[in-house]
Chain A
Amino acid sequence: MAVIKKKKDKALPAVNTSALPDIVFMLLFFFMVATVMREVDLKVSVNKPQATEIQKLERKSLVTYIYAGSPRQKYQDKFGKTPRIQLNDAFASIDDLQPFVIQEREAKAEEDRPMMTMSIKADKSVKMGLISDIKLELRKAQAYKINYSSLQPKNAEALYSADN
């Protein structure tokens, strides 16, 4: 006990942060791989229906989206509450659909064109009249592969509940 430790007012050594960039880069790469670019700014509210027999859409580049639903709160003064179609970033009418599909098809590589899929993202409260009109236009534009975008229900009961 002869040694008396003298408390030095030496500052704590700085935490080694040289590995910090590595960690951040790792996170960055994870996000780059796991996510996709946000496609559009949604102007209609879409509350997708639920279904169990769903398949993943494999190649994003082959998928074209059609949105349908009531305009969002901030657009309601201008466009009302009636369900509308949204293509890309703007509201569209049913007549715009056919040129839109053709234009989208033209933009794709020749060999990919037959595999083009139209994904219908519609709110579950939308009436089938509108959806039928969309389907008819798609048939006219010869886009036959479609996908009804839906969510996986949490359990079987949720699938049959009345509010779904």
Chain B
Amino acid sequence: MARNKRAIPEINAGSMADIAFLLLIFYLVTTTMDTDKGINRKLPPIDDELVQDPPPIKERNIFTVLVNSNDQLLVEDEYLEISELRAKAMEFIDNNGDGSCEFCKGYGVSTSSDNPDKAVISLQNDRGTSYGMYVKVQNELVAAYEDLRERYAEEEYGRSYRGMDPEEDEEIIKEIKNAYQQKISEAEPLNIGG
């Protein structure tokens, strides 16, 4: 049949671009590009039975950080600027008072922590403290641990801790995290300067 031999007319694709533009604009309007980032923390569970008999911690192993309602810092009973907090915290964690920590570089001061395993950072803020300040303090304390881990990784493995792949170097990361375990305890906020 002669009819079958005739070519099928081409579909007009002229408006394809218009349709695609329409979709594109829809996506541009309804979506956002910002990725969410933040400081990950874990809250302690509410469990009264556990708290009844807390293990005794020596005074020297506690690094107290207080923040008042004017966003001022009191660290170990002395006034401190936020920019000095990281170094101070690192000095405390890394002190190695009992000499059991082989990789520590602290001065072994008798008034500071025994070893990184025993060192606890205690953080307390006021209800009037601003959230911005709170995050800054959290950030500095986490950074103190991260910096120590970074140094440990450089010395033990000759690699950067922050540059490690969480899946590939799982074992190494675990080892490093174990060497400098993050121990930050948060107390219930005070309500003094409302």
Q: Which residues of A contact B (CB under 8 A)?
A: 17-18, 20-21, 24-25, 27-28, 31-32, 34-38, 49-57, 60, 63, 68, 117, 119-120, 122-129, 131-132, 135, 138-140, 142-152, 159-160, 164
Contact = CB atoms under 8 A, between A and B. Distances in A.
Interface of B: 13, 16-17, 20-21, 23-24, 27-28, 30-33, 35-46, 81-83, 125-132, 134-136, 138-139, 142-143, 146, 188-189, 191
Given A31-B31, A63-B36, A149-B38, A128 B130 contact: yes
A31 B188 CA distance: 44
A119 B42 contact: no
B188 to A, nearest CB: 7
A122 B140 CA distance: 19
Nearest to A37: B31
Given A35-B31, A138-B43, A149-B36, A127 B23 contact: no
Given A38-B30, A160-B82, A21 B143 contact: no
Closest CB pairs A-B (n = 10): A124-B132, A129-B127, A35-B31, A24-B20, A51-B139, A21-B16, A49-B135, A149-B38, A147-B38, A128-B129
Interface of A is mostly: mixed
Nearest to B71: A162
A120 to B, nearest CB: 8
A148 B39 contact: yes
A52 B145 CA distance: 13
A28 B23 contact: yes
A18 to B, nearest CB: 7
Contacts of B132: 49, 124-125, 164
5 contacts: A24-B21, A132-B188, A144-B44, A147-B36, A149-B37
A51 B37 CA distance: 10
A158 B130 CA distance: 17
Contacts of A147: 36, 38-41
Nearest to A120: B38
B24 A53 contact: no
Nearest to A133: B127
Contacts of B42: 144-146
Contact of B191 (A35, A57, A129): A129
B34 to A, nearest CB: 9
A119 B17 contact: no
Contact of B20 (A25, A35, A123): A25
Pick the most buried of A27, A123, A128, A159: most chain B CB atoms within 10 A of its CB: A128
Contacts of B16: 21
A22 to B, nearest CB: 9
A135 B36 CA distance: 20
A126 B125 CA distance: 14
B39 A35 contact: no
Contact of A27 (B24, B39, B130, B146): B24
A28 B129 CA distance: 45
A61 to B, nearest CB: 12
Given A28-B20, A35-B31, A53-B146, A139 B130 contact: no
A100 to B, nearest CB: 16
B41 A148 contact: yes
A18 B32 contact: no
